[in-house]
Amino acid sequence: GFILSHVYLAAAGEARFSYRGFLWARIARVYPLTARADIGGEALNGCAIQSAALAAMPPA
């Protein structure tokens, strides 16, 4: 986010700023990382829940 803001702030000073272009660049660069982190977090959460469920089971 910082790099995008830095680049687009310079573009705004030169009157060649495009808000639509800024949003597109931000979504295209930041969203994939966010999606991967969300998927990884959900996978870890699922493992933790499964582990807790197995630990709570009485011995056979």
Residues 1-18 pLDDT 10s: 677 777 777 777 777 777
pLDDT at 48: 92
Average model confidence (pLDDT) across the chain: 84
Cα separations (Å) of 50 from 2, 5, 32, 39, 54?
38, 41, 27, 17, 6
pLDDT at 1: 66
Q: Taking Cα atoms as reference points, which of 43, 23, 40, 41 lies closest to residue 31?
A: 23
> Directed axis angle between helix 2-13 and helix 19-56, to 10°?
170
Confidence band of 26 (pLDDT split at 50, 70, 90): confident
Q: How far is CA 29 from the centre of its chain?
A: 10
pLDDT at 23: 85
Q: Residue 14 carries which DSSP code?
A: T
